[in-house]
Structure 1
Amino acid sequence: MNSALAQGALRIGMVAGFSGPVAGVVQESAEGARLYFDSVNAQGGIRGQNIELVTQDDKYDNATAVAQAKSLASQGVLALMLSRGTGPTEAMLPVLKENRLPLIAPATGAISLRDPVQPFVFNLRASYQDEAERAVKHLAGIGVKRITIVQVNDPFGIDAGKGAIKGLDDVKLRALSHLRFDRNKPNLAPTMQGIAKAGIEAVVLIGPGYAVAEGVNALRAAGSTAHVVTLSNNASNDFVKSLGENARGVIVTQLFPYERSTSSPLVREALGLAKATGRSELTPAQLEGFAAAKLVVEALRRTGKDVDRASLVKALEGPRIDVGGLQVGYNDKDHSGLEFTDVSIIGPDGKFWR
């Protein structure tokens, strides 16, 4: 299967929710990946072979993710990349193991994909716990003390919530309340009304974009001017649009350099390629996709002439790889990826500012 593949395109699969609640950010990350793959292909590809990104829609559903991953594995893709969501990604783990199929740069920060090490998962972004910890430390740093945590009651929310608690512990604060909501039926209006009445200064709102937007809009409708912090899973244009006039001032954690910062080699390269295709700017999700594609390409370049899944895994676990000024290294005991975290704020123009 892989030897035949090596004679044609180098096919990389992406199983993610191209329809459903995370469609916007998934599409943006795929656009970023294609931006870099297209540039490499225009220069002759990898040893004369083009890279092809093959996408499948899992509709943000665990069972569908498994079926689509099996389908791509049987088609001979060398690796998967940029899966989104803790549940769908965890569901695919047996497929990865059975097919010895690497998953590169999943767009999830789940601790379950890091500890214990998953031999076929190569994380790029920092963990949800790291970014939630960064979020609350930012709030403490600007003098906020009355903080509440509102999280989705699923593996993602539980995971990120632990990071928020750790961050509060580190700055000697405690959450005034720690509330949970259902992913499918958030019903956040009563919760936000209670938070507004309690005079909370900041809400750490952990959940999918549609639920966080509902929560922010309900909080503002209740008359609260509290700071709102959410995580990088909501760093997309679609999320900003869903907030409408309430977007301004929402704080969103970020896991890659500022997408307008030309001092970053990664951003400088991505912006240059984007402008050549008629685009004047990038979103955080597009930059993540771009960085993931750089990681894939560098690993492919290190496989040698006989490229297959095993040689790709070996290349990833070799010397550290430079991803546009960010250094990432893996070995058989650690596939954690980067530790970079930052915060942004949505400005009056609907852009993410830092």
Structure 2
Amino acid sequence: MRELRRLAAVLCLGVLTSFAATAQILIGQTTGLTGPAAAGANENVLGAKLWFDRVNASGGIGGRRIELVTLDDRFEPARAAENALRLIMVRQVTALFLNRGTPHTEAIRPMLAQYQVPLVAPSTGAMLLHKPVDPWIFNVRAPYQREAEKLVHHLASIGMSRIGLAHVDDSFGADAAAGATRGFEHAKLKPVFVETFDRARPVFSALVQKAKAGDVQAVVFIGTAEAVSEGTQALRAAGSRAQIGTLSNNASSGFVKAMGEHASGTIVAQVFPSERALSTSMVREASELARAAGINELTPAMIEGFAGARVLVEGLRRAGPNPTRQSLRQALEGFQRVDLGGLEISYGPADHSGLDYTELSIISDGRFRR
């Protein structure tokens, strides 16, 4: 934090020109456009821009365009903190939006209260962002713990009793593992093994040995798309045919591509309706906008970005003719059963959790099937 304070002091010198009179409403985003989570992060951004572009084409918010300023943090928490500080202090953004990763959000979090900046739709389901309520964080997606618990329950319900748990050794992995543990307890099972791996340099030799020795039927794999695909390849190379299940952070076409020949049959938790559920008006509208933009097919990660953008835009519309950080927070806390297009979201001073939607999908023919 000393380094960040020094950086803040330097950046303050640059805040001599007021951005208040800008013709845009500036929204800041730091996310891993490159690095191990790049597939999902880029699809998040693409989905959000579908809605921002639609709103801007219709006159913006009170005649002001929404400008999304996105900085690449390479999925590194320290860089995410540096980017967030630049966005807050130099670009003077009205809000931060759709950052990715649990440790990354933890790194940003102290600045939200310090500079009174709302963070809308963080792309993480960490329970620590839900309880206790952080007055400056507005979640949209359901918690990872709920996904992990549901995944274990499903595996047990289809007769699997030899299930291993592998998770990245960071706050994201520990958080999701807590949900998986509840799933095991409710199913009256114990995991065959619980194996952790390093976020920056994952090694899966011990995981493979334990999976083979325990003849596991399934592995609940909590990590980035890159880590889960590498771990799955290691298991398959060793002859294990264990069912792979993972969380919604890997609900992207990039994950399917990374898994390659091993993608088919992988179970992936989801926190939004299917990207092909055209009976849901939000999905139908996203599909129409994507087609008009030359995007052939939506992905779950795009739907997440699209839903987050809808929440942010509605908050800005309700925040008055010249939205500020404080008025945006107050507007969001006033949400009561706001319709996002087939999904309703509510907030209040004691509840910033957002949606409660979770279900499972399976990859087949390169698509997520529900």
Interval containing the TM-score (normalised by the shorter chain): over 0.9
On the 8 A contact 2:192/2:214 being kept in 1, the answer is no
Task: Tell me the distance in 2 between the aligned counterparts of 1:285 and 1:277.
Answer: 17
- 1:293 and 2:309 aligned: yes
Name the counterpart of 2:354.
Answer: 337
Is 1:94 equivalent to 2:110 in the alignment? yes
Choose the corresponding residue for 1:37, options 40, 49, 52.
52
State the 1:171 CA deviation.
2.3
Amino acid at match of 2:313: V
* Aligned residue in 1 for 2:210: 194
Partner of 1:60: 75
Task: Tell me how far apart the structure 2 counterparts of residues 6 and 138 of structure 1 sit (CA, whole Å).
Answer: 53
Q: What residue number does 1:127 align with?
A: 143
1:253 counterpart SS class: strand
**One-letter amino acid of the structure 2 residue matched with residue 140 of structure 1:** A
Aligned to 2:216, the other structure's residue is in SS state coil
Q: C-alpha separation between the residues in 2 aligned to 1:131 and 1:190?
A: 25
Q: Deviations over 1:189-224 (max 9, x none)?
A: 342243134221111011112111111111111212
Aligned-residue Cα RMSD (Å) equals 1.6
Q: TM-score, normalization: structure 2?
A: 0.92
Q: Which amino acid aligns with 1:294?
A: R
- Answering whether residue 221 of structure 2 is matched by residue 229 of structure 1, we say no
The alignment status of 1:107 with 2:112, answered yes or no, reads no
1:13 aligns to 2:28 (yes or no)? yes
Q: C-alpha distance in 2, partners of 1:4/1:60?
A: 28
Counterparts of 1:117 and 1:319 in 2: how far apart (Å)? 16
2:350 corresponds to which letter in structure 1?
A: K
Q: Secondary structure of the equivalent of 1:239? A: helix
> What displacement does 1:34 show?
0.5
- 1:6, distance to aligned residue in structure 2 (A): 5.8
The aligned residue for residue 144 of structure 1 is: 160
> Following TM superposition, by how much is the alpha carbon of 1:258 offset from its aligned partner in structure 2, in angstroms?
0.5
For structure 1, which runs of at least 5 residues remain unmatched after alignment? none
DSSP 3-state at the match of 2:165: strand
1:153 aligns with 2:169: yes
Alignment length, in residue pairs?
353
Supply the AA of the counterpart residue of 1:53.
L
Residue of structure 2 aligned with 1:173, choices 183, 189, 202? 189
Partner of 2:5: none
Q: Distance in 2 between matches of 1:261 and 1:255?
A: 13
1:324 is the counterpart of 2:354: no
What percentage of aligned pairs have identical amino acids? 50
* SS at 1:129 equivalent: helix
Cα gap change, 1:240/1:281 in structure 2, threshold over 3 Å: closer, same or farther? same
- C-alpha distance in 1 between matches for 2:111 and 2:369: 39
Change (3 A) 1:270 1:194: same
1:238 aligns with 2:254: yes
Structure 1 length as normaliser, TM-score? Answer: 0.96
Q: Relative to structure 2, which stretch is displaced further, 292-301 or 233-242?
A: 233-242
Give the letter for the 1:158 counterpart: A
Which of residues 200, 212, 231 in structure 1 aligns to 2:228?
Answer: 212
Q: Cα deviations across residues 91-131 of structure 1 (Å, max 9, x unaligned)?
A: 01111111100000000111111111111110011111011
Would you say the 8 A contact 1:148–1:178 is kept in 2? yes
Offset from partner CA, 1:48-85 (integer Å, 9 cap, x none): 11111110111212221111111111211110111111
- Cα distance in 2 for residues equivalent to 1:189 and 1:32: 37
